[in-house]
Amino acid sequence: MEMARTARAHFVWTSIASIVVILIASCLTYVFLSKMTECQRVNIVSATENMFKHQPSREHWLLKAYSCSQADGRLMWENEWEGHRNESESIQDHTGKWIVIQESGVYLVYIQVNFKLKTHSNSSSPTSVELKLLVDLNYGESTQMFAAAHDTQMVNANTVQDAKLNTFLLMNMKSTNQLSVRAFPSDMVNIDSRPFSTYITILKWSDSW
């Protein structure tokens, strides 16, 4: 029950974020229109109307990490709403490391990775730990790093500290594109499932830019 409430909360916040993006775009459009000539204004209004004609589908996902590969740092995902979807709707590949996009469009993507930081057993002084979150996008012909986040934390000796990295992305993806997340140090990624703390939410915003 608690996990269900958490899942709903994540989806609600993601939906709110999309609404905020739309409101900001509307406000900026109004400001620019007030400073333009009539001819320019007509062109901008036409482009704006075309952009908001695209209605998003109900494509939305919440995936939680259940493991992290020590070889390449890639997170392995499972569908938090698996019991409420058909098996044919799965978007993970056979390895669990890649998320396969089903519909082309613009997506709001939020990723959070939690870490449990600790020093090495023989360390008696604070240690600097560099945290990394890398997002890879596979286009079919090639794989490119799409985004990254990083931070450096000081960890006291003989203690375990919680830390997190997160990133919010607006991504234009095609059907069959694949998304993957790498996290380092991979041996410190927190994949506890109750409550799950490393997850990704994917919400389709529109069919095109």
How many CA atoms within 13 Å lie on the side-chain side of 176?
A: 4
Query: Which structural domain, as residue segments, surrounds residue 121?
Result: 55-206
Does the residue 197 lie in any domain? yes
Does the residue 19 lie in any domain? no
Does the residue 38 lie in any domain? no
Nearest CA to 179 among 60, 93, 120, 105?
93
pLDDT band at 81 (very low <50, low <70, confident <90, very high): low
- Which contacts (CB < 8 Å, 24+ apart) does range 121-127 have? 123/157, 124/157, 125/157, 126/154, 126/155, 126/156, 126/157, 127/154, 127/155, 127/157
Residue 54: per-residue pLDDT: 47
Give the separation between CA 46 and CA 18, rounded to whole angstroms.
22
CA distances from 73 to 49, 135, 174 (A): 43, 11, 25
Residue 16 CB neighbours (<10 A): 10
Give the tens place of pLDDT for each residue, 111-121: 999 999 988 76
Give the tens place of pLDDT for each residue, 59-72: 789 999 999 999 99
Give the separation between CA 6 and CA 67, rounded to whole angstroms.
20
- What's the domain count of the chain? 1
Give the separation between CA 110 and CA 17, rounded to whole angstroms.
10
Does the residue 24 lie in any domain? no
Does the residue 17 lie in any domain? no
Mean pLDDT of 137-154: 93
Burial 150-189 (b: 16+ CB within 10 A, else e): eeeeebeeeeeeebebebeeebebeeebbbbbbbbbbebb
List phi, psi (to 5°) of 188. Answer: -110, 0
Does the residue 34 lie in any domain? no
Does the residue 31 lie in any domain? no
Asked if residue 180 lies in contact with residue 134, where contact means CB atoms within 8 angstroms, the answer is no
The mean pLDDT value of the chain amounts to 77
> Residue 124's domain is classified under what CATH number?
2.60.120.40
Residue 113's SS3 state is strand
Does the residue 33 lie in any domain? no
